[in-house]
Structure 1
Amino acid sequence: MYEQGTFSPSPVTDCVVFSKIRKILGGRVRLVITGSASIHPDVIKFLRIVLGVPIIEGYGLAETFAASFITQPGDYEAGHIGGPTPSVEAKLVDLPDIGYFSFDVNEKGEYAPRGELCLRGPTLFRGYYKDEERTHQAMDSEGWIHTGDIFVRLHHNGAFKLIDRKHGVFKLSNGEFVATGKLELAYGKSKFIDQIFVYGDPSKSHLVAVVVPDDGYVRGAWAPRLGIEREKSLQELCQIEKLRDDILTDMELISREDNLPPYEAIRKIYLESQRWTENDILTSTHKLNRKAARDKYTNILGRLYE
């Protein structure tokens, strides 16, 4: 029923259950607007059904004076930010270094451009107060504000959907900003860890990670201490739940020592036995290519969030 354009699943549940919830809010709510941080599509659908009213989602920055994009009240699809408001111009800029292009296609071969979202218009700011350097960093010579957010324009309805951050900084569903590069440096200090990829789903409130254990420490110190044969391959050792638990414990210790806030803690990890190289998810300067990493571990990241 929801997909057909009606909020109420049935008159009975609407009258007996959901009407009581609406009365908590006064019983006169006719429209709900959400913004600030991404909200999971399932939550929006649930609230639309429970409250029985349209819920529209906005997107914007402080520099754009709040909403520059907004969904339509009659749009029952969730997970995107709709289109730009009438006073705003928008474009997607190619990011060849991380593989996002305006000529990209989706899994069906349909045109679905991807890139950094840039905005321009009379309702946007003209610069930071007495700070020309930051102004030039945020806005180019043609007046386009570079948001740092990477979007795809959906083929079937033309709406924009957030898929990544240009600089590895993003907002969790609780509204907290997270810099994954900083966390990878922090947790990378663990004696257990050789390489690490920290990931956060903007629709979730916590982080997960893919970890390549340090073969020398795990095989030379950890395994003998527990009476585990050091001749075992790293792939075999990565299947041992105790190793995963001990790595998480050490990461929690680092989190406390570095006074990291709770939302920067890693809840779950996946152990990868093969070191990353330039042939898979490292750049020529041996930095992590976040898009390539996310593409490679898409299914695994999904399981970590289950």
Structure 2
Amino acid sequence: MSKTPWINVTTLGDLLLQAAEHYPATDAIVFPEERVNYRDLAERALAHARSLRALGVAPGDHVGLLMPTCMDFPELFFGISLCGAVAVPINARYQSAELAYVIGNADLVAVITTSRVNDHVNFVERLTGAFPELADGPDPVALALATAPQLRRLVLLGPDQAPGFLPEDDFRARAETIAHEEIMEIRSRVRLRDPALMLYTSGTTANPKGCPITHEAMVRNSIALGRHRYQLTAEDRFWSPLPMFHIAAILPMVSIFDVGGTYLTMAHFDAGVALGMLEGEQVTATYPCFVTIMADLIKHPDFEKTDLSRIRLMNSNFAVQPDWIREAMLKAMPDTVYVGTFGMTETAGTVCTSRLDDPLAARTSRLGVPLPGLEVRIIDPASGDEMPTGARGEILVRGYSLFEGYYKDPAKTAEALDAEGWYHTGDIGSLDREGQIMFYGRLKDMLKVGGENVAAAEIEAFLAGHPAVKLAQVVGVPDERLQEVAAAFIELETGEEVTEQALIDYCKGQIAGFKVPRHVRFVREWPMSTSKIQKFRLRDGLIEELGLKQAG
């Protein structure tokens, strides 16, 4: 008789304290240059909770984290949870205008940031650009900003000091004014359905939307994924290079903390450093999942000589990766169990993922089945009717991990959540006879070329097969005769050269004529949201360049 995957759930703060009690000396988090065990991580998180409480942060308050992936992040993330507040990780790529919007929209009462990272990343400059009053040197614990009236405190970690920011030494010293028992009392009153964090998701809209995620959703989903579906244990060492402000980093981190294993990450992805970690730290499970990361690992000169034999599990998403990536990984790590995954911020991460005993063909051509407690449907987005097995339609999700609405945006919430509790993802997918899901792209990424429906993802996948192409993104632009035609944006491999016409010729005769891009542009840097390329910016720029009229 198989083991029952019991529903076990707690708060984020208690999850860390339990790990510290059972696995005090085990490495909790490892960076290339530093590491911390569970005992010390819990102590640091509790100290931060006391400092936050001393600054007047109350249960339910929203506290922003604006920093790169670093050891301070998890210490503060769990510290915020332990004092009953809501952590709001902010995309470290955001510039002043975006920061002004998110900080005001999220009703943050405090923001904790870090000193200058390098010549290109200076959060103090960005925040001062967002709120020019900071240059006048206001009291950093009694701010009164016109465009962010809830924001009362700014904390600056690191050696730098700046007008309007509370220095790190002062922040840490305030912990001494709050008793440990006060935090433990607050911690005990946190409810499972209280919001634990709020992440902002952008996608294709101009302003990002806040997604509150409860303790139950975050912790229960992490347990369902790690302990039950992936069978992680305290012996596992789980590596993910994704930024900590992203749900795809928070989810594996909480998953491995639940079982007392080790989470490994890095401040900035570097394929050479990553390969060194994978071998030297004896990593057993990985969460690379994005094509750019997989490609950089494979193409690094150290890839073939790196010992990756200890990796038993990889979240590879081969179903949506170019064929050459799958072939290279299978050759390098033939004994690894590769799994696919489908999920999003609004569902606290993973909705579907492969079972470890699924056939290899299913694990590499599909994205898995729903986690227990989650449901998936495929509907015709126009009629709302259920689609037959194998047919494409909009993916709907329902279950315990769903967010309960976009923060302060009832209109967007009404569009996304229906009366029966189904979340309309806006993703195109299908379910096969075994209930395995496949993802084909976004509804908004469907092109209408001369009456033919075309998925941008199909053209992107074909272009990715060209040896000079590192990454392809396809959008639709207006066309007088066909209504809309495909336009391809291409990032080339380092050192490769190819002309626009050569790529168009590459498509001709290989894919249907109506799918062949009419325009090709080369890109060195992509306009990004948290984790997605903002296609609307690519499209708008090309429409302006070509002097076309926007549809509608």
Into which bin does the TM-score normalised by the smaller protein fall? 0.3 to 0.5
TM-score (norm 2): 0.28
